[in-house]
Structure 1
């Protein structure tokens, strides 16, 4: 069996935050996971404190890191209070005047982002890190403690395979391309323009190699976490066309909606009770009307389970006016209560429109009949 030389992490959650060089009260996030954040996650899974982790960082930094951006996410701001009951100190170590309260800091996050991280290096170290993440001693987070992952962090490299037998990969691009991309919905069947963005760590093959001109410098290689000290590394942006797997979420089932059954015996009984309770009059215009009916003010118990308070007696004209208003507003289960004063003017206006239309239509029919004669 070929020993694994690559480890895959799925970093996905409601919020993520991968700090850059932001200082003081405004803390921004980069557009992809940093090496410092990923190694911090690994140290947390191993149960290493900030002080103890310093002895392992040189070894963990030998792992080359690549990131595939499966979903960029949306940048989102929040705030956090710092220094409650402690006070803010000056550069000389003294207490600032009037600084016994809190300091408000702004924090930037990536909302609904998803990343695939590949770590490549010594097979023994890869195996140790994978075992730690599979059974973490401390909870792991996506950059900040307020950002828990929403899926298992340890990702499978291929369908039906575990991380213990993924095969070896020549480089990080090949490793990132070995894992299928799964759209959230079936409609998103292909990545944007058929490719996905990847950020790959560049390392010189020999001592005299020069970094490419388009290489970016990220100061995210951790030397120690307490105090935080970081060194630079080179990052190259590339594109990958991974295989497309099945959608993660199926179509949402239709919400069952109660519907009125006007032939139902219970409904007809409740209808007669409502008309009798309203003395056979329209609750809006107080007329007996040429054709008395009832109106549902809610369909939540429609289909034979209606209660007396779910119905209102209406004449034909008021019923037509209210129904037209409801359809025009796209109302759902809860409808217009004709006894509610806030609807009075709109119902009166709609009644007038219906009467005017019917009057004009009657005149047109009479004129048409005269022309035929």
Structure 2
């Protein structure tokens, strides 16, 4: 029996579900968004030998290599896929530029350093080949949003691969794992505006994704923010010439083994985007620990501490009339003698002012620690000056008070 044809209402419902699924995946019809964020990143361009630098933003070869790893392609297998991936339009939005960090790296693969005469250097003490030391540059605490535009079928395949990569991805080097999912997706209550087609361009696509600060305290003063972008320039026609401000980046991969790259033209621009919700919700401060001063066990430990310190303040050696908690980890009657220290009232008030000003948690100030000597002395002087003024205000006329 032939199947009954679907009516228009069923077809409309099916199309609506398909469009809804596209919004839920976070990918526009022809655009793939990749979020690159991690403690360290390294995107080399023309680094050679023992000094390995990084570019200021992800390179196309680095992102293509990351996609090949997600697809599970070896270097030999990726060679056939490179022309298709190189045809994708490529743009980067710099959400957080990060800071540059240098580190050194030893290579112990029996390579060694070669002298001017062409001989391998030998360590005199061990007789072994001298270790090769290289310098590596990284981008610390950076975040980028990469937009790739191409055919919808290819974009969907790449989105599935990035959502469940076959091989572990890394941000330029194997020691740089990502700290967030690679596939950028909208939140439950977010909507990304689709630039509709490739005619919308990379700038419009990058402007469709809101910028999300890490913490609530990082919110800008306005609802929008301007972010720098690096956009791959593509000639609209055969006779078009590149703008004079275009930069040349040698990061289009042609072959992985040995590495061969072609140049591409990059334009710098800025895009104004909406500010979304913070990536990390505000963390409430832990409750300030309290001690049970009426507990009999605490009173016993307090007396033992005063006797152990011979009734003297551990800071100024004046007679002590109170004790201070060095840590509150066992507060509430379970204090150990080393959790307390004897202080006079003046030093106790100075230490308390410091602790409240620093919003300290369970572990507090140890007045016997030399690093706290100068701050405690400053607060002692401030307390003495304030109390002296208060006393003078009580007994002198207003015009006589400084």
Find the counterpart in structure 1 of residue 212 from structure 2. Answer: 182
Counterpart-to-counterpart distance in 1, 2:151 and 2:344? 77
3-state SS in 2 of match to 1:296: strand
3-state SS in 2 of match to 1:231: strand
Give per-residue Cα distances to partners, 1:294-347, cap 9 Å, x unaligned.
Answer: 41352423333333454456xxxx61243255347658544456xx6979x99x
Counterpart-to-counterpart distance in 2, 1:335 and 1:157? 45
Alignment of 1:62-211 (within 5 A): 62-87=87-112, 96-98=120-122, 100-156=129-185, 168-169=197-198, 170-190=200-220, 194-211=225-242
Q: Is the 8 A contact 1:260 1:299 kept in 2?
A: no
Q: Is the 8 A contact 1:63 1:119 kept in 2?
A: yes
Q: Is the 8 A contact 1:296 1:335 kept in 2?
A: no
Q: CA deviation at 1:149?
A: 0.7
Find the counterpart in structure 1 of residue 351 from structure 2. Answer: 326
Q: 1:91 to 1:116 in 2, by over 3 A?
A: farther
Count the aligned residue pairs: 346
Which of 7, 16, 20 in structure 1 is aligned with 2:45? 20
3-state SS in 2 of match to 1:56: helix
Find the counterpart in structure 2 of residue 31 from structure 1. Answer: 56
Instruction: With the length of structure 1 as denominator, give the TM-score of the two structures.
Output: 0.78
Q: CA deviation at 1:228?
A: 0.8
Counterpart-to-counterpart distance in 2, 1:194 and 1:178? 13
3-state SS in 2 of match to 1:112: strand
Q: Is the 8 A contact 1:258 1:299 kept in 2?
A: no
Give per-residue Cα distances to partners, 1:44-69, cap 9 Å, x unaligned.
Answer: 11111112211111111110101111
Note if 1:53 corresponds to 2:53: no
Instruction: With the length of structure 2 as denominator, give the TM-score of the two structures.
Output: 0.73
Give per-residue Cα distances to partners, 1:235-260, cap 9 Å, x unaligned.
Answer: 11111111211111222321333233
Please tell me whether Structure 1 or Structure 2 has the larger radius of gyration of its CA atoms: 1
Q: CA deviation at 1:191?
A: 8.6
3-state SS in 1 of match to 2:274: coil
Q: 1:149 to 1:271 in 2, by over 3 A?
A: closer
Alignment of 1:231-246 (within 5 A): 231-246=262-277
Q: RMSD across aligned C-alpha pairs, in angstroms? A: 4.0
Counterpart-to-counterpart distance in 1, 2:235 and 2:43? 26
Which of 238, 244, 258 in structure 2 is aligned with 1:227? 258
Question: Structure 2 regions of 5+ residues with no counterpart?
Answer: 1-14, 20-27, 124-128, 397-402
Q: Is the 8 A contact 2:57 2:92 kept in 1?
A: yes
Find the counterpart in structure 1 of residue 326 from structure 2. Answer: 298
Q: 1:237 to 1:105 in 2, by over 3 A?
A: same
